[in-house]
Each structure stands twice: as C-alpha cells, then as structure tokens.
Amino acid sequence: MTAGTFLAIKDKMTEALKRRLKQERFPSPLQEALLSVGVAASAINDLVDGVCERHGLTRSQYNVLRILRGVHPDGHSRCEVACRMVERAPDITRLVDRLQTRGLVRRTRGGSDQRQAIARITAKGLKLLETIQPELDAQTAIRFHKLSDKGCRELSRLCALIFGEADSCPNKN
C-alpha cells in the first residue's frame, strides 16, 4: 500500500465518521480511532442482533451457544463460559437457564467437583446454530464486502493491539 493510497483510505474513513456522527473534527487521532471502533462495533452488533432476533435469541444467548458448540461434545462451567464471552454478560446462570428451558443446552454436574455444573449444547442448539449461520455469514459478508481477506486479517491484527492486553477473566485465579 502506498502512502497516497493510505491517505485516501484514511480520508474516506474520516469523512464517513464525520457524516455518521455529524461532527466536523475530532480532538485527536486517538479520539477519532476510539469513535471509529465504537461506531463499527455498534454496526456489527446491530447486524448480529437482527439475525439473532429473527431466530428468537439474544446476541448473548447466541454467544453462549457459539462457545458451547466450540467444545462440543464437551461443555463448560459457568465461569468458563463467562471468560469466553465476546461481551461481558451480567448473569451467565440466568442466560444458561433460559437456553436450558428452550432445550438448547443441558447442564450436568462436573466430574471431580460435583458442585460445579457443566453446560453442553444439545442437538437442538446445534441445529439452531446451523440454521442461523448461513444468514449471519451472508449479512456479515455484505457488511464487510469492501475488505479483502488480507484487509480482514489486518483489521483483526489492529483490533488485537487494542484488546490483546485485556484479561478476559479478571476474577479467575
């Protein structure tokens, strides 16, 4: 990427943010970057919310199912689920309760520690994710259509610079 290309892209980003926020200038590049990330995150959250709502889920419930699908057929304790959430959720227990009521997850007692409940995704939960995934992929592809695979990797790298130092499980010993 040449310096001229970079400046053209930066100017387009600045103009898009200015139009979106109806603000002519920003106090600093840091404030502009902070606002850009926030606006982009909001757009993505709105997209995921819309898909999830059409399937009777909240974004947090989808996230729990996604986490449990990742370790299927095993499961996770409440604390492990909380550590893996994209966004913090205030009450994982109630979140899992609602998913269990719908038959999307089941809970069993842990192996060595019988006090600990392990949540596992059910076949019904897996089926729901299979139904949601094509729509979510299509909507995401539309939102990200201007980014190449290389651009997506670069975006991920830049985001990791921001959140990479954050401890995902601050209360975990």
Whole-structure pTM value: 0.81
Domain assignment present for 16: no
Tell me the one-letter amino acid at 39: V
Tell me the one-letter amino acid at 124: K
Tens digits of residue pLDDT in 102-143: 999 999 986 666 568 999 999 999 999 999 999 999 999 999
Domain assignment present for 119: yes
pLDDT at 16: 81
Domain assignment present for 27: no
Angle between helices 3-21 and 29-54 (to 10 degrees): 70
CATH number at residue 69: 1.10.10.10
Domain count, the chain: 1
Domain assignment present for 17: no
Whether 88 shows a pLDDT value over 60: the answer reads yes
Domain assignment present for 132: yes
For residue 136, which of 68, 57, 72 has the smallest C-alpha distance?
Answer: 57
Tens digits of residue pLDDT in 23-70: 888 888 888 889 999 999 999 999 999 999 999 999 999 999 999 999
If DSSP codes are grouped into helix, strand and coil, which group holds residue 106? Answer: strand
Domain assignment present for 20: no
Identify which has the larger pLDDT, 155 or 22. 155
Task: Tell me the residue range of the domain where 63 lies.
Answer: 42-144
If DSSP codes are grouped into helix, strand and coil, which group holds residue 119? Answer: strand
Domain assignment present for 167: no
* Average pLDDT over all residues of the chain: 86
Domain assignment present for 24: no
Q: How confident is the model at residue 90 (pLDDT cuts 50, 70, 90)?
A: confident
